[in-house]
């Protein structure tokens, strides 16, 4: 069976399109966050595929909402015994309120120490700052590696919480924004997002040139994207709309 693939953006949704030797078009929405995939006959053109997606948008959105609400971790209260993720590893939290604010990892344990009078929200803020610092430290060598390979240079990067994206870039200022939640995911996923945003400094849309550049620099980028999509979701987390 001969196949080919493409990527479309329809109504703000990223759509994977796979052309196959089949008779009819099929639209699927995959867990955990609602990745949309279209299997289409070779004879069907892009306009017809876009029309089919638009016609099914209510159904697609309903499926995405159901999936995004189904697979989430319970809310974290910063108490010992909870599960937290660091660079894709599932760790057990050991929290104590008997010292200065400090976070560290040892084996399978995430150690969190805060002052005795800290509330749960204050403890969470300490951990959030640690995640941000972890991400910043990991991003710098990735930019040093990939900017000369891709052939572009970002003016700066910013770690900023975003509700709907893992990363984005401001082409006018050549600034890359990265979500601090990436520090909870496998490092391969962060590398994919960094390259993704650098390529967007060359091509703003997810067109053929964008896909060609991603295929050139990170041949397994689809697998990394799917790994990111399939990672455990936090109670406050979001989908990956906006990333190819």
Q: How many C-beta atoms lie closer than 10 Å to residue 198's C-beta?
A: 24
Please indicate whether residue 112 or residue 68 has the higher confidence score (pLDDT). Answer: 112
**Could you give the CA distance from residue 14 to residue 242 in angstroms, rounded to a whole number?**
7
- Strand, helix or coil for residue 117: coil
Check whether 9 has a pLDDT greater than 90: no
User: Taking all residues of the chain, what is their mean pLDDT, rounded to a whole number?
Assistant: 87
Residue spans of the domains in the chain: they are 4-70, 83-230
Q: Which of 2-11, 107-116, 143-152 comes out lowest in average pLDDT? A: 2-11
pLDDT number for residue 65? 82
Average pLDDT for residues 132-148, to the nearest whole number?
98
Alpha-carbon distance of 210 to 202, in angstroms, equals 8
In CATH, 83-230 is 3.30.2010.10: yes
**Average pLDDT of span 212-225:** 92
Give the global pTM: 0.72
Cα–Cα distance for residue pair 205/209, rounded to 1 Å: 9
Rounded to an integer, what distance in angstroms lies between the CA atom of residue 17 and that of residue 26? Answer: 10
Cα 214 → chain centroid: 16
46-71 pLDDT per residue, tens: 999 999 999 999 999 988 887 766 54
| Lowest-confidence region among 155-164, 172-181, 214-223 | 155-164
pLDDT, residue 234, reads 54
Q: How many other C-beta atoms can be found within 10 angstroms of the C-beta atom of residue 5?
A: 13
Q: Evaluate if residue 236 carries a pLDDT over 50.
A: no
The pLDDT, as a whole number, for residue 164 is 66
């Amino acid at each position: 069976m001969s196949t080919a693939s493409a990527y479309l953006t329809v109504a703000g949704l990223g759509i994977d399109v796979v052309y196959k030797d089949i008779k009819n078009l099929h639209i699927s929405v995959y867990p955990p966050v609602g990745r949309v995939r279209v299997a289409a006959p070779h004879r069907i053109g892009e306009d017809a595929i876009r029309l089919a997606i638009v016609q099914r948008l209510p159904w697609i959105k309903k499926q995405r909402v159901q999936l995004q609400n189904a697979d989430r971790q319970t809310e974290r209260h910063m108490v010992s015994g909870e599960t937290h993720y660091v660079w894709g590893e599932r760790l057990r939290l050991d929290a104590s309120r008997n010292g200065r604010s400090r976070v560290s990892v040892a084996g399978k344990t995430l150690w969190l120490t805060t002052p005795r009078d800290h509330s749960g929200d204050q403890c969470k803020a300490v951990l959030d700052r640690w995640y941000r610092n972890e991400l910043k430290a990991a991003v710098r060598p990735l930019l040093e590696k990939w900017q000369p390979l891709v052939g572009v240079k970002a003016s700066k990067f910013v770690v900023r919480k975003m509700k709907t994206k893992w990363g984005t870039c401001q082409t006018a200022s050549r600034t890359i924004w990265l979500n601090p939640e990436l520090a909870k995911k496998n490092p391969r996923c962060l590398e994919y997002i960094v390259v993704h945003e650098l390529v967007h400094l060359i091509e703003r849309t997810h067109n053929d040139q964008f896909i060609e550049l991603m295929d050139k620099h990170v041949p397994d980028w689809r697998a990394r994207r799917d790994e990111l999509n399939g990672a455990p979701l936090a109670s406050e987390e979001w989908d990956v709309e906006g990333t190819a």
